[in-house]
A and B are shown apart, each in its own frame.
Chain A
Amino acid sequence: MRHRASLILGAVLVGLMAAAGLVSLAWTPWPLAEIDVLNKLAAPSAAHPLGTDGLGRDLLSRLMAGAANSLSVAAGAVLLGGGIGTGLGLLASAWGGRVEEALMRLCDLSFAFPALLFAIMLAAAFGPSLLNTGLAIAFINVPIFARVARGAANQVWVRDFVLAGRAAGRGRAAISRDHIVPNIAAPLIVQATIEIATAILAEAALSYLGLGAQPPAASWGRMLAEAQTLLWVAPMQAVWPGLCITAAVLGFGLLGDGLRDWADPRLVRRQA
């Protein structure tokens, strides 16, 4: 039953974060950029449930907006990178031979590159922004998904129904689309969930370094950086965004784990 617990806890955490982010798009307790210098670093109160930051902005509102930024960048980047990577993996698997060899060696090559370093390089080249951060994270995900998709697809290609499909006159592209993709969807979804957790962390790190979200946009990583100078004065300023990052990463990680165990009955039996 352990996988059931992680599935539920993960889903609840992810659901909370996603809900907070969604709500922030339409409504936040306070306007995001409303500065109230007289009321800066205020303690929690009825008006400001989590208090205010160094410029007197409502902390809860900024955390909610941060959730929207973090989740959308992470999920968007993984979807984009994962989509391209899956396509390349399917291509490698369907054509085999030199095409497969070349694509997979390219993937190996990109794994030799430290991911965060690459993102920093990209930000240096194209300027720091949330979009460039997302593109960098997407790029990192391409070889990961190419590998997972190619490995899973290779196992499907040798199955009898693929042979039957070829005998029915179907080409590689049609077989990939109609037979391979549905049969490798489960591991890809699990991988995507886990990679979103990693992507949230990466986005926070880049924003902390000032390469992601630019002020006055709200971002958990950026809030951590701003709280750093006030650590002795107002430690809770750093605790809240830190907690949010932890909860989101943990949530997606648990959800991914739970989904994997749920999709793979062999694991369940071993635990029982």
Chain B
Amino acid sequence: MIRVEGLSAALPQGQALRDVSLSVARGERLGLVGESGSGKSMLGLALMGMVPDAAQLSGRIALDGQDMTGATEAAWQPLRARKVAMIFQEPMTALDPLVRIGETVMEPLILHLKMRRRDARARALDLLAETGLTEPEAKMRQYPHQLSGGQRQRVLIALALACDPGVLIADEPTTALDAQIALRITDLLVRLSRDRGMALIFISHDLAAVARATERLAVMYGGDLVETGATAEVLANPRHPYTQGLIAARPRPDPAMIRKRLPVIPGTVPTLGDLPRGCRFAGRCAAELPRCAGTRPAPWPTASGQAACHLLEPAP
């Protein structure tokens, strides 16, 4: 459905993505995890053709077999919503406060599917009901400020589903929601993906949500794709030191862990301006080798995917 080859994104202050290759099959659910600033949102935007004007893209992007490398805004526009749709982190701000819910969901139906208003209204109502929004009829007439965060996220999901896209990119869809609602939204996205055969790219830093929602996992750090593989496999048996640190650092309701400090990855994510030239994780890695900072590790095969680390290099 989506194929990315050697995608790099250069911002004025540094490289946001370095040589990322990734593909998502029809109906597949991929998790994209990493810390803030790891490039996961930039990758999501690149798949929508919506990177900031300042970013210089190189590499190939193909969407449903169509080569979108270097495509213009005009070429992307008809594909958005129809082939690839996106939902955002902040449901509180992603809806125009001056536009009624119904109008918002009807917009793409009228724009892309050339529906008449009456048909669009009926379809919008179905979509809102499909996302589990209660009393969709009344909500159609309401303004965003009258809805809660979870309800707004459902509206945004209905908006994204309007034109039956092949891929849905969910950029931290649950980060701004409380735990209970987050769980329900996660399950909703999984159900919709299954029912519609729609590929889902689930961007998150919540490993529990990713474990619940996805079949395959891609871990990003400093603009690099450091490890990929089956979600269960990567979480149970992480090969890259960064993935290992990320999994060790997640809070668990384990009685043995109470009152103990969480293990942390030492240091902070470097800014784009001073990323190491070699492995981006050099300088924070516990198992660092002398060549790590200067030489970029190649991706080596793992049980179900790949990991880019010098430690995995087969002995000569």
List A residues at the B interface (Cβ < 8 Å).
Answer: 96-97, 159-161, 163-171, 174, 178-179, 182-183
Contacts and interface: CB of A to CB of B under 8 A. Distances in A.
Nearest to A167: B86
Interface string B90-133: 10011111110000000110011000000000000000000000
Interface in B33-86: 48, 50, 53, 77-82, 85-86
A163 B95 contact: no
B96 A168 contact: no
7 contacts: A160-B90, A161-B95, A163-B50, A163-B94, A166-B48, A168-B107, A170-B108
Nearest to B91: A160
B80 A164 contact: no
B17 interface: no
B177 to A, nearest CB: 15
Interface of B: 48, 50, 53, 77-82, 85-86, 88, 90, 93-99, 107-108, 111-112, 156, 159-160, 162-163
B107 A170 contact: yes
A188 to B, nearest CB: 14
B159 A169 contact: no
Contacts of B48: 166-167
The SS class assigned to the B binding surface is: loop
A168 B163 CA distance: 9
B88 A96 contact: no
Contacts of B78: 169
Contact of A179 (B88, B99, B163): B99
Contacts of B94: 160-161, 163-164
B53 A96 contact: yes
Given A169-B78, A182-B98, A183-B98, A164 B111 contact: no
Given A164-B86, A179-B98, 12 more contacts: A159-B93, A160-B94, A164-B94, A165-B96, A168-B80, A168-B160, A169-B77, A169-B163, A178-B96, A179-B96, A182-B99, A183-B97
Contacts of B88: 160, 163-164, 167
Nearest to B85: A167
Nearest to B74: A171
The SS class assigned to the A binding surface is: helix
A163 B156 CA distance: 12
Contacts of A165: 96, 107
Given A160-B88, A163-B50, A163-B88, A168 B162 contact: yes
A168 B76 CA distance: 11
A271 B152 CA distance: 34
B96 A171 contact: no
A48 to B, nearest CB: 52
A168 B81 contact: yes
A97 B98 CA distance: 28
Listed from nearest, the 8 A-B pairs whose CB atoms lie closest are: A169-B81, A169-B80, A160-B93, A167-B86, A161-B96, A160-B94, A164-B94, A182-B98
A174 B96 contact: no
A110 B95 CA distance: 37
Contacts of B80: 166-169
Contact of A167 (B53, B81, B112): B81
A266 B112 CA distance: 40
Most buried by B among A164, A170, A174, A182: A164
B159 A161 contact: no
A23 B68 CA distance: 64
Contacts of A161: 93-97
Contacts of A179: 96, 98-99
Given A96-B53, A167-B50, A178 B85 contact: no
B17 to A, nearest CB: 19
Contacts of A174: 111
A169 B99 CA distance: 17
A161 B144 CA distance: 11
B96 to A, nearest CB: 4
A164 B53 contact: no
B99 to A, nearest CB: 7
A155 B69 CA distance: 30
B108 A168 contact: yes
